[in-house]
Amino acid sequence: MNFLLDCLKGIAIGAGAILPGISSGVFCVIFGIYEKLLDSILHFSSNIKNNFKFLFPIILGIAFGIILFGNALNYCFYQFPIQTKSIFIGLILGSIPTLIKEVNHKEKFKPSHLIFLFIALFLGISCIFLEKTLTIPTLENISFHYLVLCGFLMSIRNCRTWCQ
């Protein structure tokens, strides 16, 4: 039963891996396996048997998720874009209580954290409105400002992993 459950988690993680803007890590946090998954990968050689028993069904499910849902999600995004995006926004918003519980377990919530929440919310909503006005540049007309913006956004994403 545990093998099947881990395979189903892996299928959801694999489906999340092919979605633009959705991280598989979000699904790992939702399922409560994020830290154990990282520990199993980082310390694989220290306990090969147990780590393999944990990782194999998840990796198998990820492969099936990518294969099974690749075309289906692509179809849904083109045929039902608002509904499909709403489902994944709901999944991400639904994971917030789990994230808060995990953060509160390590460190108590401070009211100053709300400032960062509202800034992130404002930036997220602004990006949604900016997405409609921006044009995707081709190789012929890439500007310096576009490259700086892309570099800045990638450094923010990478900074999250460096700071941990």
52-86 b/e (C-beta count within 10 Å ≥ 16 → b): eebbebbbbbbebbbeebeeebeeeeeeeeeebee
Half-sphere exposure (Cβ direction) of 27: Cα atoms closer than 13 Å: 22
d(CA 153, CA 115): 20
* Residues 122-148, mean pLDDT to the nearest whole number: 76
Q: How is the chain split into domains, by residue range?
A: 1-94, 110-164
pLDDT confidence tier of residue 21, bands split at 50, 70 and 90 = low
Cα distance between residue 79 and residue 76, in whole Å: 5
Q: Given pLDDT bands bounded at 50, 70 and 90, which one contains residue 138?
A: low
**pLDDT confidence tier of residue 149, bands split at 50, 70 and 90:** confident
Q: Is the pLDDT score of 134 beyond 80?
A: no
State mean pLDDT over 16-45.
79
> Which pLDDT value is given to residue 95?
72
Per-residue pLDDT, 36: 86
The rounded percent of the chain whose pLDDT value lies above 70 is 85
Q: What is the model's pTM?
A: 0.56
Residues 125, 129, 134, 136: what is their CA dihedral angle, to the nearest 10 degrees?
60
Report pLDDT for 9. 87
43-93 pLDDT per residue, tens: 888 888 888 988 899 999 989 888 888 888 778 888 888 888 788 778 777
Q: Which of 14, 7, 6, 27 is nearest to 70 (CA)?
A: 14
